[in-house]
Amino acid sequence: MMDPRDVLTVLCVLLGAFFFFAGTLGVLRFPDAITRLHAVTKADNLGLGLVVLGLALQAASLLAVLKLLLIWAIALLASATSCFLVADSALRGQGERESAG
Amino acid sequence: MTAGLLFDIALVVGLTIIAFRAIHAPDLFVGAVLYIVFGLLLALVWVRLNAPDLALAEAAIGAGITGAMLLDAVRQVGSPARRAPVLTRIGRVAPWAGAVGLGAVAAGALVTLEDRGGTLGEMVRGRVAESGVDHPVTAVLLVFRGYDTWLEVGVLLVAAIAVLGVRRTRVLVPSEPSSEAPPIATAAAGVLLPAGVLIGGFLLWTGSHAPGGAFQAAAVLAAMGILVSLLGRPPLASLSALRLRLLLVCGFTTFLAAGVVGLLVEDAFLRYPAAAAGWIITVIELAVTVSIAASLVLLFAGGRDRAADEAAG
C-alpha cells in the first residue's frame, strides 16, 4: 500500500505533465499567436502549479515548500507579463499589416 | 535506471538536433531562440551529471544573459533571411574536420584514461575542511583553484574595459526615457526587481555550503539590471564614471589583495591564513559578485545605445 501522500504527488505531477503536453501540442497546432499564447500560459500556470504542488508534498521542510511556491509565483508573474507583451506586439503587428495591405 | 538512461539519450539527441538547427536556422532570430533552448537543455545535462552549480551558471549566464544579448543584437541588425555564406571548399570542410578531430581526441582520451585510484572529487572532499567553506565547488573555485577564478574575473574585466573603450562614456549617458515601456511591464518589474535582488543575495550566501555562489548571484543581479535597461532606464547611467569603474574593478582588486595578503602572511599567493579564510572568501565573493554583475550589465548596455550613437553622429 502506497503512502497517500505519494499517491497525491504522482497524481499532481502526472496532471501537471498533461498540461505541459497539451500546452506544447497547442503551441505546435494552434493557428495564430493569440491562441498559442493561450495554450502555453496554461502549461506555465496550471502545469507548473500542479508539479510544484506535487513536489511540495514531498518537501523535507517548510522552507523548501516556500521556495517551491516562490518559483511558481515568479513564473506566474513572468508568464502573465510576457504573455501580455507578446499578445500586444502580435496585435500591433496585425494592425500594421492590415493598414499596410 | 532505465528511465534515467532513456531520458539521457533523449536529452543528448535533442541537444544535437537543436545545435544543428541553431546553426542552420533560416533566420537569425530563430537561431538565437534555438541557442537559448540549447542552453536550457545543457543546464539539464549538468543536472543529470550531478553538477547543480554548473547547471545554475549555464541557465543564468549561458541561456539567460547571453540569450538576451543575442536577441538584442538580432533586434538591432534586423532579422534578414540568412544568405548562404560564400565559402571555399576548405572553408566548408575545415570546421567539420576540426570538430571531428577534436571529438576523436576527446574520445581517445576518455578511452585511454588511466584509473589512478581516487578522483579529483574525492581529493577535494577529503580536504574541503581546510578551505574555510563547506561547499566543495566553492572551495575549488575560491581556494584550491583560486588562481583560475581570479583570472576569469580578470577576463571579464578586460571585456568590460573593451566596451568602455569602444563606447567611451556613452553607456553612462541615459538614453531618452523610454515612453515605450508598457505600464504592465514596469509594474511587473517593480515586483521582480526586489525579488531578484533578494534571490541574488541568497545565491551568494548559500554558495558557502550549497550550490550557488558569486557567478550565479551576479548573473541574477545582472538580469535585473538588464530588465531595468530594457525598460529604458540604464542602471549604470546614474553612476559617476569613477563609481562605475570602482564597481568594475573591485572584484579583481579584492581578489588580488587577498592573494598578496597570502603572499605576505603565508608565503604563497592566494593562500589564505586559516583563521580568517572564511571571512576572506566571503569578502572576495561579495566583491566579485558586484564586479561580475556590473560587467555583464555593461556588456549588455554597451551594445544597446545605437540610437544615441546615431543621434550623436
CA dihedral B147, B149, B151, B155 (to 10 degrees): 170
Q: What is the pLDDT of residues A49-80, one digit of tens each?
A: 999 999 999 988 999 999 999 999 999 998 98
Q: Tell me the residue type at A15.
A: L
B185 vs A70, A74, A85: nearest CB: A85
A88 touches chain B (CB under 8 A): yes
Residue A69: what pLDDT?
Answer: 93
> How far apart are alpha carbons A45 and A16 in whole angstroms?
10
Percent of all residues in chain A with a pLDDT value above 70, rounded to a whole number: 91
Interface test with B, best of A67, A70, A77 (most B CBs within 10 A): A77
| pLDDT at residue A10 greater than cutoff 80 | yes
User: Quick one: cell of B56?
Assistant: 545554475
> How far apart are alpha carbons B43 and B36 in whole angstroms?
11
Residue A51's nearest CA partner among A6, A2, A8, A14 is A14
Residues of B in Cβ contact (< 8 Å) with A81: 184-185, 188
Q: Is ipTM over 0.95?
A: no
CB under 8 A, 24+ apart: contacts of B47-54 = B48/B4, B48/B7, B48/B8, B48/B11, B52/B211, B53/B137, B53/B211, B53/B212, B53/B213, B53/B216
Asked if residue B175 lies in contact with residue B309, where contact means CB atoms within 8 angstroms, the answer is: no
Chain A residue with Cα closest to B194: A74
Q: Do B192 and A74 touch (CB under 8 A)?
A: yes
CB count in 10 Å sphere of residue A80:
15
What are the 10-residue block averages of pLDDT along chain B, 313 residues in total?
Answer: 88 94 86 93 93 90 90 77 67 87 93 75 79 81 85 92 76 55 84 91 86 89 88 75 88 91 84 82 91 90 59 41
> How far apart are alpha carbons B84 and B69 in whole angstroms?
24
A64 touches chain B (CB under 8 A): no
DSSP H or E stretch at residue B166: helix B146-167
Tell me which DSSP letter residue B85 carries.
Answer: P
